[in-house]
Amino acid sequence: MKMAYDIDSGRRKYITSWRNSNDPSPGDFNWRIENEGLPELVIRRGKMKLFRSGVWNGLYFSGGPPTPNPIFKPKLVFNQERLISISEIFNSSKLVRFTLETSGTLRRYTMNARRKKWIPVYENPLDPCEEYGQCGPNGMCRIDKAVRCECFKGFAPKFQKDWDHQDWSSGCTRIKQLNCENGDGFLEVRGVKHPDMLQHSLNTSMSLKECKDECLRNCSCVAYANPYITNGGSGCLMWFGELVDTREQPGADSMQNMYIRLPESELDSSIDLEKKEKKRPIELILISIASGVLVSGLINGSILLMTKRKRRGRNNEDVELPVFKFVTIVAATNDFSGENLIGQGGFGPVYRGCLLAKGQIAVKRLSRTSGQGLEEFKNEVMLTARLQHRNLVQLLGCCIEGQERMLIYEYMHNRSLDYFVFDQNRRTILTWPMRLDIIMGITRGLLYLHHDSRLKIIHRDLKTSNILLDGNLSPKISDFGLARIFGENQSIARTKRVVGTYGYMSPEYAIDGKFSVKSDIFSMGVVILEIVSGKKNWRFNHHDHYHGLLGHTWLLWKENRFLELMDECLKDTLIESQMKRCVQVGLLCVQKFAEDRPIMSSVVFMLGTDGAILPEPKEPGFFMERSSSTVGSCISTSMMSQKESMTITDLEAR
């Protein structure tokens, strides 16, 4: 079917829901093209708007994913910048069905020919932030926050008591009214789905600078933006009145921004401080760290740096990393406000922030009570700055000032993997194809660390919570504070300071302090089995035994009952052969003896090759029944005592 909205020919075609599951007569909901100067796709119930895709920005609908879906490929037909029809290209290798359900939900299905079953692959609205006007006028929806609605800067909840009960429909109102005569300014809001064009003005030929000037001249103009992100941004879209249905858009193009009008008193004058930052090489960063301690430490650190430089020789270039001022990070995080707190780890709290030049950022602030300290901070700076891979989180810079130690990372819109996999509601978002893609992404990142980067890195703390997900749910390995560099011919090391997270540690590391690439591979195996099952390893409980997840998986594998391991929410999207391969590779990775485990290149090959004959796994590490309550706490206490001891590392040849 072709949807159409052609004013010249008078053609209008749209999709209507059934009245109910047994009555195909027209129901209450319809999905159509609407065009008020910029086209978008809208679901309505009668005259009530329930969902909008966001307007066409020249490349895609601004409220949708920027990358095309490999399963369905829409064909858009324009006439003088007006979308007049949309249809889907038929691909005989993939049979796709598209419905508007009686509930008003838009769903796409693909046919699994082997199972003769329709598999749901996509739906709208996908999350609460896609529900129209979720946060009321002048509010913005952020799906990654516990309290998903917030007011734009310069605005406050219209009825605070409603907001306290998480009823955001009344929206926000200005704290200080605009004063056109005394001058106003604009606040840039980056990476958003633009508000609905309820009252607007559109000029497709203006530049952004001309648009700003035009908005300033019109006292009724409350915001402006480039409607198109093509060619570096073009056109002028101005809003008048309330800003409705705005959301933070994960994965949005860096040009998809808007500029909200505020009194100058409401604008943060410190926002330009970041422009004055300078880059410094890592060696200077390390010296700055040492300068905060004792003079003797500075001297010893300098000697150590000189020694390292001599060993590296001239072939290894110094890595430069931006050093941000403390006042810049304070401004970016709104003085480390509780609203911007997005996580808490062993290093310390993690805050979301926004820098003019970098966009959204994540700030890890070293806590003075943290179990980790200067050594881990220095280690993460040295390692992460030198590593570049699409499946590793990117370090943007650091802040070293007084007693403050902070790391500034790219912001991951979808938090960490455990936020989805272990949550009863959010886990349904991760279909089987998504989980397999996440597994493959993690293994490619680990392959880079072990084999393909200039440095051979052992992560030592690979776990589900250290896998971050970007706006497209692509995985990125994070947290290199405990990582270690191995020499080219080095295969194993031993430490008396066993650090990490129990449940992901290999037996040889947890018991004897020995670590190698095979330690990381054990952790990778645990992560694979957790992704497949949706269950945590160490906190796993079963009514028939007291084994952890590894032991439970082993028992099921031996009885050819591996399908029972599957997360129940995957039953409609699962491909059995792929799941079996993942379970088998996971068990191969967690085998008791390090020499039995595969290397990372073999793991990637086995996971990515259909029909490959895989070896049978042997008994996993820690295959022993625990007591129902005491064993975990005893081992955890033992680990804590080891964390407090001095690190003494011995290298062993093999």
Q: How confident is the model at residue 146 (pLDDT cuts 50, 70, 90)?
A: low
Domain match, 172 and 91 both: no
3-class secondary structure, 165: coil
Which tokens go with 146?
């516990």
Vertex 23, ends 86 and 429: CA angle to 5°? 55
Who contacts 513 (Cβ-Cβ below 8 Å, separation ≥6)?
494, 495, 496, 497, 498
**Residue 443 lies inside a defined structural domain of this protein:** yes
DSSP 476: E
Residues contacting 299, CB < 8 A, separation 6+? none
Tell me if residue 144 is catalytic: no
**Do 519 and 638 fall into the same domain?**
yes
Q: Averaged over 341-364, what is the pLDDT?
A: 83
Distance (Å, whole) CA 30 – CA 175: 38
Q: Would 576 be classed as within a structural domain?
A: yes
Domain count, the chain: 4
Residues 86 and 181 in one domain: no
pLDDT in tens, 62-121: 887 666 666 667 778 877 777 877 777 665 567 788 888 888 888 888 887 777 888 777
What mean pLDDT value characterizes the chain?
Answer: 81
The one catalytic residue among 144, 184, 196, 461: 461
3-state SS, residue 216: helix
pLDDT tens by residue, 463-482: 999 999 998 899 999 988 88
Nearest to 195 by CA among 48, 47, 52: 52
**What is the span of the domain harbouring residue 361?**
274-410
Which domain-ending residue is among 410, 439, 457? 410
The answer to whether residues 625 and 555 belong to one domain is: yes
How many residues are there in the chain? 654
What is the distance of C-alpha 244 from the center of its chain? Answer: 26
CA distance 294 to 244: 55
Domain's final residue, options 395, 410, 425? 410
Residue type, 182: N
Listed range (105-109, 252-256, 268-272, 379-383) with the worst mean pLDDT: 268-272
Q: What pLDDT shows up at residue 283?
A: 58
Please tell me the predicted confidence (pLDDT) of residue 60.
81
**Beta strands of 445-556 (E only): which ranges?**
456-458, 467-469, 475-477, 484-486, 492-495, 514-515
Strands 139-141 and 246-248: parallel
Residue among 181, 218, 186 nearest 203 (CA): 218
Both structure tokens of 374: 């200067």
Residue 274 has pLDDT above 60, yes or no: no
Q: Is the residue at 449 inside a domain?
A: yes
171 phi and psi angles, rounded to 5 deg: 75, -155
**Where does a domain end: 222, 252, 267?**
267
CATH number at residue 160: 3.50.4
141 lies in some domain? no
Please check whether residue 142 lies inside any domain of the structure.
no
Structure tokens at 222: 């409350």
Question: Which residues, other chains included, contact 207 with Cβ-Cβ below 8 Å and sequence gap of 6+?
Answer: 234, 236
Cβ(148)–Cβ(129) under 8 Å? Answer: yes
Higher pLDDT, 118 or 445: 445
Q: Are residues 101 and 189 in the same domain?
A: no
What kind and span of H or E run contains 607?
helix 600-608
Collapsing DSSP states into helix, strand and coil, what is residue 651? Answer: strand
pLDDT number for residue 299: 36
| Residues 98 and 186 both lie in one domain | no
263 and 116, same structural domain?
Answer: no
In a domain, 198, yes or no: yes
Q: Is 450 helix (H, G, I), strand (E, B) or coil?
A: helix
Q: Which one-letter amino acid corresponds to residue 136? A: G
Residue 609 tokens read as 């090759």
Strand, helix or coil for residue 23:
strand
Q: Give the strand pairing for 106-112 and 96-100.
A: antiparallel
The CATH number covering residue 586 comes to 1.10.510.10
pLDDT at 645: 35
158 close to 170: Cβ distance less than 8 angstroms: yes
Q: How would residue 641 be classed by pLDDT, with cut points 50, 70 and 90?
A: very low
- Judgement on whether residues 103 and 26 belong to the same structural domain of the protein: yes
- In the chain, DSSP finds a helix count (H) and a strand count (E) of 14, 36
pLDDT for the residue 128? 80
Q: What is the pLDDT of residue 92?
A: 58
What does the pLDDT look like over 281-335, one tens digit per residue?
565 566 555 555 443 444 344 434 443 443 444 344 445 678 888 888 998 898 8
Q: Judge whether residue 359 has pLDDT over 90.
A: no
SS percent in the chain: helix, strand, coil, step 5 = 30, 30, 40
Q: 91 near 73, Cβ under 8 Å?
A: yes
pLDDT for the residue numbered 307: 38
Rg (CA), the chain: 27
CB 247 within 8 A of CB 142: yes
Q: Tell me the pLDDT band of 9, cut-offs 50, 70 and 90.
A: confident
Least confident among 5-9, 431-435, 461-465: 5-9
Q: Are residues 490 and 595 in the same domain?
A: yes
Distance CA 541, CA 632 (A): 12
* 144 part of a folded domain: no
What pLDDT, on a 0 to 100 scale, did the predictor assign at position 282?
A: 60
Is residue 276 very low, low, confident or very high in pLDDT (cuts 50, 70, 90)? very low
Residue 563 pLDDT: 94
Q: At 239, is the secondary structure helix, strand, or coil?
A: strand
CATH code of the domain covering residue 402: 3.30.200.20
Question: Do 474 and 379 fall into the same domain?
Answer: no
* Same domain assignment for residues 312 and 389: yes
Please indicate, yes or no, whether residues 454 and 596 belong to a single structural domain of this protein: yes
The pLDDT value recorded for residue 652 is 43
- Total Cβ atoms within 10 A of residue 180: 13
Is 136 part of any domain? no
